[in-house]
Amino acid sequence: GAVVSQHPSRVICKSGTSVKIECRSLDFQATTMFWYRQFPKQSLMLMATSNEGSKATYEQGVEKDKFLINHASLTLSTLTVTSAHPEDSSFYICSATRWDHYGYTFGSGTRLTVV
């Protein structure tokens, strides 16, 4: 079945630094990837939708200059949290789908802690 690998699973960084999170589809071509964020004890919040080869579409309230999304190939999308602050500490998860949106597969998530 379809597999999405997300890396790293856990990262701790200092305030002001940048962190890159990778989301890879291992056995299919992911034309669309979604990035979500989960706040403690809440449901997921969609941050952005990225289609391969084009700019990501950000949800209202999500700073595109802070959360840089790159979807340069059919198997890889990256989320870079720039100039991270403690309030960016959260759980980030990606999901990917094929061109026909036949099935969605989630990564295992990344726990980001900014100190």
Q: Which residues bind another protein (CB under 8 A)?
A: 1, 10, 34, 36, 38, 40-41, 43-44, 46, 49, 91, 93, 95, 101, 103-106, 109, 111
Q: CB-wise, 70 or 113, nearer to another protein?
A: 113
In the complex, what is the shortest distance from the CB of residue 84 to another protein, in angstroms, rounded to a whole number?
17
DSSP code per residue over the chain: ---EEEE-SEEEE-TT--EEEEEEESSS--SEEEEEEE-TTS-EEEEEEEETTSPPEEPTT--TTTEEEEEEETTEEEEEE-S--GGG-EEEEEEEE-TT---EEE---EEEEE-
In the complex, what is the shortest distance from the CB of residue 1 to another protein, in angstroms, rounded to a whole number?
7
Q: CB-wise, 37 or 84, nearer to another protein?
A: 37
Q: CB-wise, 83 or 103, nearer to another protein?
A: 103
In the complex, what is the shortest distance from the CB of residue 40 to another protein, in angstroms, rounded to a whole number?
5
Q: CB-wise, 44 or 74, nearer to another protein?
A: 44
Task: Identify the CA nearest to 11 among candidates 1, 21, 25, 23.
Answer: 21
